[in-house]
Every structure is written in structure tokens, then in C-alpha cells.
Amino acid sequence: MTHPDTLTVHAGYTPDATGAVMPPIYLSSTFAQQAPGKHGGFEYARSGNPTRQTLERALAELEGGAAAFAFASGLAAISTVLELLNAGDEIVAVDDLYGGSWRLLERVRTRSAGLKIRYVPAGDTAAICEAITPATKLVWIEVPTNPLLQIVDLEAIVNAARKAGAMTVADATFATPYLLQPIRYGFDVVVHSLTKYLNGHSDVVGGAAIVRTPELAERLGYLQNAVGGVLDPFSSFLVVRGLRTLPLRMQQHCRNAQQIAAWLASQAGVREVIYPGLESHPQHELAKRQFPQGFGGMISLRLDTDEAGVLRFLSGLKIFALAESLGAVESLIAQPWTMSHGSLPEVQRLARNIDPGLLRLSVGVEHADDLVADLRNALTLI
């Protein structure tokens, strides 16, 4: 299976004894043992479930990792990965982080685990590398970042982290393994919100962590069971089902987003368009090297209007739904100021260039011309 399209259709599963070409959903919470401790690999569904295992194997294959672990949400995956650390450890993290990750680090783990977090500018690879010292235990990046779609040089970060003996984690939710596989660059852990592109149909909340080495697989597998935030069998099945069309969906997301970003950039009412596939993007050259298949389906933009104009624009959209989340077949629009990043204090949001005029598009797989028409119509209202 040399092509990702083929691998994605088959990853994690071969027909079982019944010949079922699609994985069955095992709802059983426990598994009969022949003798105490003698069983076929499953004993209790928190520690292991065949349907979840299918998904986990598929994710490990798609990311090129030693193992994958599925969790009840992206944040459950992230919080379990953070359990790899000890109390008081130091993290270097990019400053343009998903709001929920920031909240978990800043509002929960600094208090409950004494984690010390040093934030560095997400688009400045050199600054990130400089911030990594022998005291750093973990380097946390997003690629591309949420919501400003900044790109870091993965290779440079791995080199700096290895010198310092720090573990590297990439939240690659926006990229998906179809566009980028951080483990192939030497990253230790990749995390995903399965809720987004991997499931792709806005009907599951889930998360995953994929690890590079068997040693990390052992440690994170232990923590998955010990902490317990596992993904349920039905959701696991739905994500496997969604995953099968990931390449098809990503190709259309990328094509649509490229066309819409270029169109938006030529519109009078649009002050700024942020898309890694545009030459105007500050890391466009790096993005071309790291994302040879396409630049993803996310676009951020700033309108040339006031807050009332932004609200008129949003209310004029008919196809783009105003909603949290991203990465599914239908197009969504969000205002990070009040939505995904509303948990950050106002000064932090402004310092990170998140203002009320910033809008984030999750471009779906509808026809691009219809999406452009929807945006054109709403722009007349600003």
C-alpha cells in the first residue's frame, strides 16, 4: 500500500472470521477469560476494546507511529499526554494555541501540577529553538496554529529539543496525517482532535495521541488506562468510517480553500487573508516545503469594517454556519474572539492578534463557486 489513499481505506482492519469488510462495534464492557489472566487480549473495555483498537491501529499506520491511543476528546488526549510530565516540569509552548489547550495548561495544570509554561511566538522558529534549554521537558507546538495559521519548521524544533533532551509534541489537528506527519520529522507525539478532520462529519467528539517509540507507547498506554478518558466503541467506529475518505475530503478542502483565499484577497471589504497557500503568508516558502499536498481547509480573515459590520456579515451567510469546531464536510465560520478563544483574557487575545474582526473559516467540501457566492453576498452587507 504505497499510496496514502489506499492505506487510508484499509488501515487498522482486515476482515475478521466472519468476513465482515467493515469493523464490528463491540459494545461489551468486559471479556470472558479462560482462566484468571488468560484471555485473547481483551479483559475490560477501558484497558482495551476491539473497535477502539481498530481505530488506534489505523491512526498509528497513518501517522507512521509505534502506537496510537484514542480518547474521549482532543482535550482528554492532550491532558493524558501532559501526564507524561512530572509536577513542576517546564514546557515551551507556542503562543498561538487552541484556546482549550491554553486553558488546560494555564488554568488547570499550572495549579494542579505546578507546570511552568514559557510561551514563544508561534511563527518564529528561531525564537522557539532559543527558548528550549536543558530545563525544558516538553516542547508543544500546533501546526498550523489556531487561529492564525502560522507554520513552524518541524525539523529545526526536533533538533533543538533533542539537544536539550526535551520531548516534542505536535497538535496537528489542522493538518491531518494526509497533509503532514510530524513523527516522520522526529516528533515524539502527535495529538489530534478527532472531532475535526479525522472524523470529518461533526458527529463525534474524540481525540488521539500517536507516539513515535515503543517506550512512549508503553508509558502512554499505561496512562490511557490509568487516567481513563477513553473513546467509546460507537464513536471509534464512526471515526474509522470517517477516516476512510480523509484523502478525498482533504483534496477538496484544500482546493476550495485555495480558491476562496485567493478570491477573498482580491475583495475590497477584506483587510487581511491568512492562508498558508497564499504568497502573502509570512511562512509561505516553508509551508510549500512542509505541505506538498496542499495547505488545508482553514482560512482566517479580517474584514474592513467595525464590529457591527462583522455581525451583519455573519448574519448574511447562508451556507457557512456560525459555529464552533471545524474540519467537517460542511462549511463553518467562527469568531475566535468570542468562541474558540473566548477563554483567554482580553489582553492576551489582543496581544496574540486576535481581535473581534478576526474570523476563521472552515471551508467544507461543497462547490467552491457556491461558497464564494455566499461570501460575496455577505460582503455586500458590511
User: What are the residues binding ligand PLP (CB under 6 A)?
Assistant: 73-75, 98, 100-101, 142, 146, 171, 173-174, 193, 195-196, 205, 207
Task: Report the C-alpha gap between 176 and 248 in whole angstroms.
Answer: 13
Q: Which of 98, 119, 185, 275 is catalytic?
A: 98
Residues in a beta bridge with 93: 119, 140
Residue tagged 509554561 (cell numbers): 117
- 8-state DSSP, 38: B
Residue 256 or 362 having the CB closest to ligand PLP: 362
Residue 285 and residue 114: Cα distance in Å, rounded? 38
Minimum Å gap between C-beta 296 and ligand PLP is 12
DSSP state of 220: H
- Rounded distance between C-alpha atoms, residue 184 and residue 173, angstroms: 16
Is residue 70 within 8 A of residue 48, CB to CB? The reply is: no
Q: Is 171 a catalytic residue?
A: yes
Give 13 or 140: the residue with its C-beta nearer to ligand PLP: 140
| Residue (of 177, 168, 233) closest to 200 by Cα position | 177
By beta-carbon proximity to ligand PLP, the closer residue of 325 and 353 is: 325
Least CB distance to ligand PLP at residue 174 (A): 6
| Least distance to ligand PLP, CB of residue 42, Å | 26
Residue type, 197: Y
Active-site position among 171, 188, 232, 374:
171
Identified catalytic residue from 52, 196, 212, 360: 196
Q: Residue 13 or 197: which CB sits closer to ligand PLP? A: 197
The yes-or-no answer on residue 46 being catalytic is: yes
- Nearest approach in angstroms of CB 295 to ligand PLP is 16
Q: Kindly state the cell numbers that stand for 199.
A: 472524523
197 in active site: no
| Furthest C-alpha separation in the chain | 73
Minimum CB distance to ligand PLP smaller for 176 or for 252: 176
CB of 145 to ligand PLP, least distance (A): 8
| Residue facing ligand PLP at closest CB distance | 74
Closest to 242 (Cα-Cα) out of 178, 182, 183: 178
Interatomic CA distance for residues 377 and 379, integer angstroms: 5
The string of DSSP letters for 50-70 reads: HHHHHHHHHHHHHHT-SEEEE
The set of catalytic residues is: 46, 98, 171, 196
